[in-house]
Amino acid sequence: MNNSMISAMVSMNGIQQRLDMIADNMANVNTAGYKRKEAAFQDTLNSVMQQSSDFQLGGRATPLGLSMGFGSRMSELSVNFKQGTLKETGKMTDLAIEGNAMFQVLTRDGEIGFTRAGNFSVQPNPEDQAMGYLVTSLGHPVLDEEGELIEVPTGSKLHIDGAGNIIAVDGEVETEVGRIGLVTPLRPDALIQKDSSLFVLPPGVREGIIAATSDLPEEEQATIRQGVLENSNVDLANEMAEMLKVQRAYQLAARALTSSDTMMNLANNLRG
């Protein structure tokens, strides 16, 4: 296989990965708390073809040698943690975070997860129907500051202040339930995306990656807004424009592959 075919093939593979990433972003444009994925690319296997000294002519400013590339590949897939816009819903279990913080949840695997998606609900406790657990839209229990499940009376109204303190109101009776545990990612790039809006820590690592928001200086602490949801930070118009650019690049790489195949076919059919 010649260099032009290799370059076109590698480029098409990388471009396809980027198209898949853009499609994922567009599919989650209405997903609460979703964070946009971004990709970085780099050249693959650059090499230099040596040239004889006959090419060193007067006035030449570049060194001898012909640089040859073999396409590009996706070298890094990162997540943009920029805050999305906030949307008023009026639902008492919808929560949004203003600032750099995340909710703690318990995943089905029993590990601690982190999310910005605050579209919560109350799931009844099968052992006590009068009580329920605060859970995410995927059924993951929300955790308090101590890492425990948050249990609330099912028939009560919930009032949640900016610090995450939960008060259950039943008529004129107010009961303190607990406090939602927020954590601040110190190294968001180290978090592993497990679902559209769910992140987990690398295995066996916690120190230096996240910190309890309540332990930070007051000016750095995030606040919670009740009856509000954070939209995804995906700009649909930008994603569509990017998709068109990437599709054109894919078409160009496909034409390069076709042209290379045509030239090889002509060479094979040459007769002496």
pLDDT tier, 264 (very low <50, low <70, confident <90, very high otherwise)? confident
Q: Show Cβ contacts of residue 58 under 8 Å, excluding neighbours closer than 6 positions.
A: none
User: Which tops the pLDDT comparison, 58 or 169?
Assistant: 169
CB of 205 closer than 8 Å to CB of 192: no
3-class DSSP state of 81: coil
Alpha carbon dihedral 105, 108, 113, 114, in 10-degree steps, equals -60
Q: What are the Cα distances from residue 76, in Å, to 4, 36, 66, 208? A: 25, 14, 28, 22
pLDDT tens readout for residues 229-252: 999 999 999 999 999 999 998 898
pLDDT at 270 over 80: no
- What is the distance, to the nearest Å, from the Cα of residue 46 to the centroid of all Cα atoms in its chain? 30
198's CB contacts (< 8 A; 6+ apart) are 105, 107, 113, 114, 115, 117, 138, 140
Q: What is the pLDDT of residue 51?
A: 66
Greatest mean pLDDT among 69-83, 109-123, 198-212 lies in: 109-123
For residue 48, what pLDDT band results from cuts at 50, 70 and 90?
low
Q: How confident is the model at residue 46 (pLDDT cuts 50, 70, 90)?
A: low
Our CA dihedral for 246, 36, 192, 75, rounded to 10 degrees, sits at 30
Report the mean per-residue pLDDT for the chain: 87
User: Pick the residue with more confidence: 29 or 207?
Assistant: 29
Average pLDDT estimate for 51-69: 66
What's the whole-number mean pLDDT along residues 93-122? 94
Q: Assign 168 a pLDDT band (cuts: 50, 70, 90).
A: very high
Full strand arrangement of the beta sheet holding 151-153: 121-125, 128-135, 151-153
| Residue 65 clears pLDDT 80, i.e. is over it | no
What confidence score (pLDDT) does residue 150 get?
Answer: 95
Which band of pLDDT confidence, cut at 50, 70 and 90, is reported for residue 67? Answer: low
Angle 27-31-34 from CA coordinates, rounded to 5°: 95
Alpha carbon distance 240, 28 (integer Å): 13
**What is the pTM (predicted TM-score) of this model?**
0.79
pLDDT > 90? residue 172: no
Q: What angle do CA 142, 146, 150 make, to 5 degrees?
A: 35
The confidence band for 50, taking pLDDT boundaries of 50, 70 and 90, is low
